[in-house]
Structure 1
Amino acid sequence: MFTPFEVAYSVITPIFLVVLAGAYLGRRLRLDARTLSNLIIYLFTPCLIIQGISTTSLEGDEIGQIALFVTLISVILAALATLLARLFHYERQTESAFVLSVFTMNAANYGIPFNEFAFGEAARDRALLYYLSTAVLANTLGIFIISRGNASSRQAFLNVFRVPLIYVTVFAFALNATDSRLPLPFERAVALLGDATIPAMLLVLGFQLSRSSVRDKLRAVALAVGLRLILGPLLALGLVMLMGLEGLTRDVMIVQSGMPTAVMAGVFAVEFRSDPEFATTVILVSTLASILTLSILLSLLGA
């Protein structure tokens, strides 16, 4: 059984060390978060997607189940968050950041090692595929939602096709389906760039936190954190029962759905100028609160 100390020491502390480095450098050197966010969206993440999808060892049926699960839970959370944001009359930019903060989860640098630590090495591929599915949704539905904070629905829709991830995903699945590989120099270059994705995201989070203040939006922050950490795994429990998922796949789906807000939400909020202060605050608070909520969740699952 996990203890909060193990979660904090083994998973959370390395994340916050990188974030703190970003916050210090961002304040000291006045670094521009948008430059790094552009590299993440247009270069690092596409390489990570190619690396992850093209080399996964999971069977086609299980890939389809996980992708469907992630799509369903993300759409349900996004729809519910949109309704609540309209009900409470959030400003347009805050609404976009709120919705994105609720339906995107940190399934990568937090979720993958956490699941591997909890369930063993066999959980890694499932946790990775969950993350890749969320990354595809974040780069499509997520970009549409966050763009609407500052643009028309038409422009927000067009922004989805500005980023390369849709095309890269098709290419990566084609490589996987045909059991093909990139030429060795390209494969190694893609791996190097893909490995830079998560550290770069954490640095952007640090840059943004060094200049954030959302004292007038604390209730909205608390609501977003509650939806992400509590409603997420509850919805996941219902979905795994509905879809008939069992064993390790079931446990990984539930735990990944209880992860804190994805760092990518902050990256997109910076890139598309939709209340990045709100998004980064939700990321920080949800990550800290998850030490307790994930420990409870694992004890309920019997891990």
Structure 2
Amino acid sequence: MEVVGRLVALLVVLVGGAGVRAIGVLDDRRTALLNDLAYYVALPALIFVSTFDRSIAALLSPALLGGLLLVVFGTAGVAWVVHWHRDSSARRSVAIVQSYHSNLGYLGLPLVAATFDPTVTAIASVVLGVVSLTQVPLTVVILSSLNAAGATVTGELRRLATNPVLVTLLAGLTIGSLGLGVPSPVAVGLDAVGSLALPVALLCVGASLDIDRSSIDAATTAAVVACKVVVMPALAWLVFSALAVDTATFIASVVMLGTPTAVSTFVFASELGGDPEFASLNVFVTTLSSIATLFVLITLVG
């Protein structure tokens, strides 16, 4: 029942974000400020307190790295086959990338931190870093190549190098690996700030959703949902079961890879020649669908 309560609360805050945007409480400027709070403050704080007392060797194993790469590229391959027949390249490219590009930072890591113990959260932080460094360049390549867009992988990698989430992850793992301490008051303060990550991020996701009836393509969206919140976590379950990783690694990997499509795919679609309205719809539907699928995943692994 505790898991049900957490996911119902997630849904309430998500819908609440859309509601306060609809009545004008969260306009574009306020939503942007709230998004900055989550992205530059709350989420980095959560990542740092999850990793600063742990060494990278204890968290990132060859099995974890290989398993994550296999699941991401495997799901992308399935999505390519499923969506390749779509007539519109703009819609086809979006459907492919949204079938594997996971919302690890705004939903995955905060949900894991709120549900499981610190060991699982620390590994989930590493999952976030590894998969982000994989899925962002892959998404840029697919959108750019299918839509003849001008963005480069090099440019996106340069942006990743200054990404606050990845910088904080590297800082936390460095301090943990070197055995350096962090004053207790600082750790407690950062922990309090990090607890804001999930509710603030959910408000941002809800406020960012923009559904245009003309963009509805039920069959394609259903295929995106099936790939993202059913096929990808199922593949993760099979891969990490076969790799016989420890329980914490298994839980962190399966739950993180079972998260819905990232809101950032809407931004990538807008910038790289994709169909932004279709992208927004898929973010909304995969997020709502993940309430049920994440409940099943968390119940099974927990």
TM-score (norm 1): 0.73
When residues 55 and 242 of structure 1 are mapped into structure 2, their CA distance, relative to the original with a 3 A threshold, is: same
1:167 deviates by: 3.0
8 Å contact 2:45–2:191 — kept in the other structure? yes
Residue 108 (structure 1) aligned with residue 99 (structure 2): no
RMSD: 3.7
8 Å contact 2:59–2:126 — kept in the other structure? no
1:142 and 1:92 map into 2 onto residues whose CA distance is 19
Q: Please, which of 49, 72, 82 is the counterpart of residue 51 of structure 1?
A: 49
Residue 168 (structure 1) aligned with residue 168 (structure 2): yes
2:166 and 2:297 map into 1 onto residues whose CA distance is 33
Superposed, which structure 2 residues align to 1:215-254 within 5 Å? Answer: 215-245=215-245, 248-249=247-248, 252=251
Q: Which moved more, 1:135-144 or 1:87-96?
A: 87-96
1:191 deviates by: 3.1
Q: Please, which of 88, 100, 121 is the counterpart of residue 128 of structure 1?
A: 121
Q: Any unmatched runs of 5+ in structure 2?
A: 144-148
- Equivalent pairs: percent with the same residue? 17
1:111 and 1:162 map into 2 onto residues whose CA distance is 25
1:45 and 1:136 map into 2 onto residues whose CA distance is 13
Matched with 2:179 is 179
2:124 and 2:301 map into 1 onto residues whose CA distance is 23
2:41 and 2:298 map into 1 onto residues whose CA distance is 35
When residues 145 and 173 of structure 1 are mapped into structure 2, their CA distance, relative to the original with a 3 A threshold, is: same
Matched with 2:93 is 95
SS, match of residue 216 in structure 2: helix
Residue 144 (structure 1) aligned with residue 141 (structure 2): no
8 Å contact 1:44–1:196 — kept in the other structure? yes
1:184 deviates by: 5.2
8 Å contact 1:22–1:204 — kept in the other structure? yes
SS, match of residue 109 in structure 2: coil
Q: Any unmatched runs of 5+ in structure 1?
A: 1-5, 117-123
When residues 208 and 47 of structure 1 are mapped into structure 2, their CA distance, relative to the original with a 3 A threshold, is: same
2:295 and 2:217 map into 1 onto residues whose CA distance is 28
CA shift digits 1:32-85 (9 cap, x unpaired): 2444334433343333221211135x8934542445433432233234435544
1:257 and 1:185 map into 2 onto residues whose CA distance is 30
Matched with 1:266 is 263
TM-score (norm 2): 0.73
Number of residue pairs matched by the alignment:
284
Matched with 1:27 is 22
